[in-house]
Amino acid sequence: MAISEQDREPLGSQEASDGLPEGWRLLLGQVAARYATGDFTAGARLVQRIADLADAADHHPDVDLRYPHVTVGLTSHDVGAVTRRDLRLAAAIAEAAAELGVEPGQVPDTLELALDTADHDRVAPFYAALLGYDRSSPDDVVDPGSRGPSVWFQHSDATAPDRQRWHLDVRVPHDEAPRRLAAVVEAGGRLVDESRAPAFWVVEDGEGNRSCITTWQGRD
């Protein structure tokens, strides 16, 4: 199936977010939804409908079938961004789920492991080999099976006295971020830096280990 030039154009984050059906959210680099099927058989029926829609559109999502839910992620891999193809297929999947009586549930988030390093090229091959990952860009390695979290190499000053080597980047829907931040603080965490919010908030646990809550907003 030929793809038009318009369908190859990456969408701006706000346009992508505004064009999504109920239950879908924009994360960094993809749109996603989780459907509360309640049991495995209902989930399998939904997955079959998604497969039929994907084949008809020649555009295939990542689908994760579990006992109580089905998680769907969409991105246009050929351009490395969200496009109109993703919005159309998301709408078709939402319609199919409604026809099957399946409601959208809690929107999924994604996890990225971030390693502070002064030399990407020195450490990236090691982690690709250790994890069996592919080096998709100079800045990260990814699971070829799309199961494990990616590892992102963030440039840092190797001589900084307060340098923390590893941290978690938790990518959440933009409207989930305030609740997640409040839950972290209630659980004994501390907000360290919100100067780049809503792109990300830096938080730390009771022992000073830092992580980031991230969204798509504030990045365009």
Question: Tell me, what's the pLDDT at 162?
Answer: 66
Q: Is the pLDDT of residue 1 over 60?
A: no
> What confidence tens digit (pLDDT) does each residue in 110-150 have?
999 999 888 888 899 999 999 999 998 889 999 998 889 99
The three state secondary structure string of the chain is CCCCCHHHCCCCHHHHHHCCCCCCEEECCEEEEEEECCCHHHHHHHHHHHHHHHHHHCCCCEEEECCCCEEEEECECCCCECCHHHHHHHHHHHHHHHHCCCEECCCCCEEEEEEEECCHHHHHHHHHHHHCCEEEECCEEECCCCCCCEEEEEECCCCCCCCCCEEEEEECCCCCHHHHHHHHHHCCCEEEECCCCCCEEEEECCCCCEEEEECCCCCC
The predicted model scores a pTM of: 0.86
Q: Is the pLDDT of residue 3 over 80?
A: no
- Please report the domains of the chain, with CATH numbers, ordered by start residue: 6-104 (3.30.1360.20), 110-214 (3.10.180.10)
> What confidence tens digit (pLDDT) does each residue in 10-63 have?
999 999 999 999 999 999 889 999 999 999 999 999 999 999 999 999 999 999
CB 131 within 8 A of CB 142: no
> What confidence tens digit (pLDDT) does each residue in 142-161 have?
999 888 999 999 888 767 76
CB 93 within 8 A of CB 72: yes
